[in-house]
Structure 1
Amino acid sequence: MTAVGQAFFMVFEPYTLMVMVLAALYGLFVGAVPGLTATMAIALLVPVTFFMAPIPAIAAIVTATAMAIFSGDIPGCLLRIPGTPASAAYADEAFAMTRKGQAETALGAGLVFSAVGGLFGTLVLIVAAPALAEFATRFSSFEYFWLVLLGLTCAVFITSDRPVKGLITLFLGLLVACVGLGNPAGFPRFTFGNTEMMGGIGMISMMIGMFAISELIRFVVDTSPPPELVVEKVGNVLAGQWALAKKYPKQILRGSVLGTAVGALPGAGADIAAWMSYAMSKKFSKEPEKFGTGHVEGIVESGAANNSALAGAWIPALVFGIPGDSITAIVIGVLYMKNMNPGPSLFTTNPQNIYAVFLLFIVANIIMVPMGILCIKVARRILRVPRNLLMPIILMFCIVGTFAINNSLFEVGVMLVAGVIAYVLEENRFPIAPAILGVVLGGMLEENFITSMIKSDGNLLAFVGRPIAATLAAVTLLVWFTPIAMGWLRRRNAAVPA
């Protein structure tokens, strides 16, 4: 049987399809409840994947992510509270449409064009990932060192409007990555004599804490009254969507392209893609004055961008082991647990697994439409679930799931501490995405640096001695020094008298 045939068999077997349906329902529910993010959904799902084969485990993650990103639009449209950060970019626009009696159009645009954007991103993933993997076979430790450094740099400058704060959280993540024996010298670092810490800080338990516990704390301290639903019933959400597709083809394509490109940048993710796409839609629109008054154009473009970013984020994750967003940071941990180590060899040793991943993205984005319609129909019931009942159940799942990773109470403690730290950081406008990237990539950065130093016998010029390494070094240094140079020029121009 060919690799493609094996992939079809793995994806379309009844167990995998059942997992996808259940993950879709779970993702739709989590995304539709304000405050429960897509990343939180995946962090809570990881302990469940321990008991699954690799392909069903990835199927659950891919499906739940796509559904949660879309269903975050529902409370944004009906309550003006985005369910996920990716939906925040156009929540005001969608709510304004609901006020005008156009909730069906707003929700339908979010659903249909999320699926279109997701399929576009998948197409790019199918084309780009194998080509990049072939290119990556020429990489040595020198190239990987610069690539990781570039990824960490991009995470700081892209994900934060305050690069200094982003840099602080990045170094915090790199510090956490130093803990334990998992370093090239095998020397215990920052363990403080605790044997539990010799294995390092568990990435999955830390992620669950940073994305789930921090949200639970935020709910506890939030004293604002619950919002009221604006509409009692939503009609046919597919009505008029074909007309929108014919009216805004450039916007759909532009949002899909931008979303995929932004998703592939380390640390960016769907929420940044959606904000950038909405801003671009307004800038190039023939009717910019309508934005903010309930205009569907921005929803069409941003909806395509947020789901195309999901597939884009998998490109660097699969090829280089560098996460495109916080969700793929969790995914990389799952891939390692399932012996599907990210990197060029993943495409050559077991190609059927990669083809199965491609198929999973296609199927997930196709079933999003009927499952999304179902979710919209029952949205009023989902949004009326009392959150003071829901949150204790989520806390219980967090504790049980984290304990199940290594049957260790220490992991539960890591989760709780990480949650408190993430809450404090976010409340003080510190982005946590660079911290996650620091934890995931810190070990890879150190390992490739040490390996390169040993190979070059301590000669630092060897880091730019190969063409690809020199190019990556130039790009990295350009990203570092361009903001500094621009700031210096602005100060200089301001100092010159008119």
Structure 2
Amino acid sequence: MEALLEGFRLVMATDVLIAIFASAIYGLVVGSLPGLSATMATALLVPVTFWLSPIAAIATIITASAMAIFSGDIPGALLRIPGTPASAAYTDEAYALTRKGQAELALGAGLWFSAIGGIVGTISLMLLAPALAEIALSFSTYEYFWLALLGLMCATLVARSSPIKAIASMLLGLLIACIGMENPAGTPRFTFGIPDLLGGIEPIPALVGVFAVSEVMRAMAEAEPPKLPRRKFGSILANQWALTKKYQWPMWRGNFVGIIIGVLPGAGADMAAWVSYAMSKKFSKEPEKFGTGHPEGLVEAGSSNNASLASGWVPSLLFGIPGDTITAIAIGVLYMKGLNPGPTLFTERASSMYALYIIFIMANIIMIPLGILMIRAASTVLRAPRSAVMPVILLLCAVGAFATGNNLFAVLLVALFGVLGFVMEKNGYPVAALVLGIVMGSMLEQSFVTSLIKSDGDVLPFFERPVSSFLAALTFSALLWPLFAWAWMRLSRRRASA
């Protein structure tokens, strides 16, 4: 009890409260700008933490990352341009709601269920940290291979086009992920003698290009660009309690999936959002409505990504193993401030841990009022002429791409991926599957090659371990599901005609 009271005292310090409020505004703004991800928002804060107290420094990381993950939904819903990779999974769904005149419903769902997911994830961090860390430590490269492959198979489940086109887009993404020399052999591949390609293709330029630049190109190509609703938003949270009651099982399922995926090193909010959206469509009673502006997928995926953000701190705090790129940055800040991760952190510095929990809960609570203000400020985009908005978006894309690598080559990559995304969507190939292949490609290859080295080329260990065999069964089910569905429909038609 004394440690809890001391934690409250640490958080209520003036410098910590100022740090929470300032980083919340900062995270909301950066996350809503296309190309500037939550990871980048966190990384840019590291120099600032040099001058802050330990609790204030960690508060800036926690608050900014939580706000940025949510605010990535804003440009996705208004302009079909995800602000962060985590919001890419359900951008089309949110944008479809906006086109139907229900932008406040889409943005309100993102805000409300992100806050709930963050609080549930924090509770899991408080209560289940040791058990969840044990689960994460039991995973080897065999399990990570199947997890990455399962994430890729989600591309076939979330695609509105044919599964064949979705798999083709995913394979193209995997091919792009092979570029560079960051592979197990350390050999340059597909670089064509270009030094800038030695480091590979970063996901951010690809994401900005296929979603943002291609959207600008579509607006230029259309004789009459689609008009967004020109009206002020109503109440942002008006229908959220009704959605909570109607989709409570998808919400809790999204929270659970987000917690489990978040605790696995390297997975993070991006994979949690993709997997949860795919599961929502898979188990929905109305799967045909997905992609047309159906809020069920937003509820589950929105709950999942912020839940994974909090649970990603479990292995980071207990063992110094980063759950995602954000916690990898946070670990460096923890060491810098003398809060060395490890089991002793929970005993010797218990008050600091309680302070961290309180900051997580505060960040997700203040997300609601600040998020509403941010949404209303962003709603001016709806009333701006399309011809005025698109050049600004293009400029932000170029700035965001330049910031990722601090060179002009990233800007060129954004333009190339914009053309690629425009051509793919024109022919019915889902660009989301392409991005997923780029993001997951390196994890898939590293896990596969490392596993084969460990087993001396034997593939049996991929199926012998209990968790590995379970993930393998799920992966093959996802892969073969379209075939089973097609065979079942054909058999049903034969019976009906007989």
Structure 1-normalised TM-score?
Answer: 0.69
Shift of 1:225: 5.7
CA displacement 1:146-200 (0-9 Å, x = unmatched): 2222222233323445211111111111111111111111122111122222221
CA displacement 1:270-304 (0-9 Å, x = unmatched): 89849958x95879xxxxxxxx9xxxxx87x7774
Name the structure 2 match of 1:15: 19
User: Are the counterparts in 1 of residues 62 and 360 from structure 2 also a CA contact under 8 Å?
Assistant: no
Name the structure 2 match of 1:435: 434
Give 3-state SS (helix, strand or coil) of 1:190's partner.
coil
Shift of 1:18: 0.4
| 1:368 corresponds to 2:346 | no
| 1:165 corresponds to 2:155 | no
CA displacement 1:247-279 (0-9 Å, x = unmatched): 7763252352244367678757389849958x9
Shift of 1:362: 3.5
Amino acid at match of 1:165: K
**Mapped partners of 1:229, 1:134: distance in 2:** 49
User: Are the counterparts in 2 of residues 346 and 354 from structure 1 also a CA contact under 8 Å?
Assistant: no
Name the structure 1 match of 2:44: 51
User: Are the counterparts in 2 of residues 24 and 67 from structure 1 also a CA contact under 8 Å?
Assistant: yes
Shift of 1:376: 6.3
Amino acid at match of 2:480: F
Say how many residue pairs are matched.
443
Shift of 1:49: 4.6
**Mapped partners of 1:158, 1:225: distance in 2:** 26
Residues 159 and 380 of structure 1, relative CA distance in 2, 3 Å threshold? closer
Name the structure 1 match of 2:404: 405
Give 3-state SS (helix, strand or coil) of 1:457's partner.
coil
Residues 480 and 219 of structure 1, relative CA distance in 2, 3 Å threshold? same
The 5 Å alignment of 1:128-143 reads 131-143=131-143
**Mapped partners of 2:253, 2:213: distance in 1:** 32
**Mapped partners of 2:482, 2:360: distance in 1:** 37
5+ residue gaps in structure 2?
Answer: 50-57, 81-89, 262-269, 317-322, 334-339
Shift of 1:130: 6.1
Shift of 1:339: 6.3
**Mapped partners of 1:2, 1:132: distance in 2:** 23
Residues 228 and 142 of structure 1, relative CA distance in 2, 3 Å threshold? closer
User: Are the counterparts in 2 of residues 117 and 255 from structure 1 also a CA contact under 8 Å?
Assistant: no
Shift of 1:135: 0.8
**Mapped partners of 1:23, 1:117: distance in 2:** 18
Name the structure 1 match of 2:382: 383
Give 3-state SS (helix, strand or coil) of 1:269's partner.
helix
**Mapped partners of 1:450, 1:273: distance in 2:** 29
**Mapped partners of 2:474, 2:438: distance in 1:** 23
Residues 417 and 8 of structure 1, relative CA distance in 2, 3 Å threshold? farther
Name the structure 2 match of 1:65: 69
**Mapped partners of 2:275, 2:467: distance in 1:** 31
CA displacement 1:235-257 (0-9 Å, x = unmatched): x777x77xx84x77632523522
Residues 392 and 361 of structure 1, relative CA distance in 2, 3 Å threshold? farther
Instruction: Compare 84-93 and 3-12 and name the one that shifted more.
Output: 3-12
User: Are the counterparts in 2 of residues 86 and 274 from structure 1 also a CA contact under 8 Å?
Assistant: no
5+ residue gaps in structure 1?
Answer: 31-35, 77-82, 284-291, 293-297, 322-330
User: Are the counterparts in 2 of residues 403 and 411 from structure 1 also a CA contact under 8 Å?
Assistant: yes
Name the structure 2 match of 1:179: 179
Structure 2-normalised TM-score?
Answer: 0.69
User: Are the counterparts in 2 of residues 179 and 189 from structure 1 also a CA contact under 8 Å?
Assistant: yes
**Mapped partners of 1:159, 1:359: distance in 2:** 39
User: Are the counterparts in 2 of residues 133 and 347 from structure 1 also a CA contact under 8 Å?
Assistant: no
User: Are the counterparts in 2 of residues 402 and 411 from structure 1 also a CA contact under 8 Å?
Assistant: yes
Amino acid at match of 1:19: S
Which of 233, 247, 251 is the matching residue for 1:256?
251
Residues 303 and 124 of structure 1, relative CA distance in 2, 3 Å threshold? farther
Q: Percent identity?
A: 32
**Mapped partners of 1:478, 1:111: distance in 2:** 30
Shift of 1:412: 1.8
Give 3-state SS (helix, strand or coil) of 2:45's partner.
coil
Name the structure 2 match of 1:87: 94
Residues 458 and 309 of structure 1, relative CA distance in 2, 3 Å threshold? closer
Instruction: Compare 16-25 and 222-231 and name the one that shifted more.
Output: 222-231
User: Are the counterparts in 1 of residues 20 and 363 from structure 2 also a CA contact under 8 Å?
Assistant: no
Name the structure 2 match of 1:194: 194
Residues 494 and 179 of structure 1, relative CA distance in 2, 3 Å threshold? same
Shift of 1:229: 5.6
| 1:419 corresponds to 2:414 | no
The 5 Å alignment of 1:254-403 reads 254-260=249-255, 269=273, 273=277, 276=280, 304-305=299-300, 307-312=302-307, 314=309, 332=324, 362-375=361-374, 381-403=380-402
Give 3-state SS (helix, strand or coil) of 2:460's partner.
helix
Give 3-state SS (helix, strand or coil) of 1:441's partner.
helix
Shift of 1:415: 1.8
**Mapped partners of 1:396, 1:92: distance in 2:** 24
Shift of 1:421: 1.1
Amino acid at match of 2:44: F
User: Are the counterparts in 1 of residues 161 and 429 from structure 2 also a CA contact under 8 Å?
Assistant: no
Give 3-state SS (helix, strand or coil) of 1:139's partner.
coil
Shift of 1:369: 3.0
**Mapped partners of 1:357, 1:423: distance in 2:** 44
Give 3-state SS (helix, strand or coil) of 2:44's partner.
coil
Shift of 1:337: 6.4
**Mapped partners of 1:354, 1:220: distance in 2:** 52
User: Are the counterparts in 1 of residues 70 and 111 from structure 2 also a CA contact under 8 Å?
Assistant: no
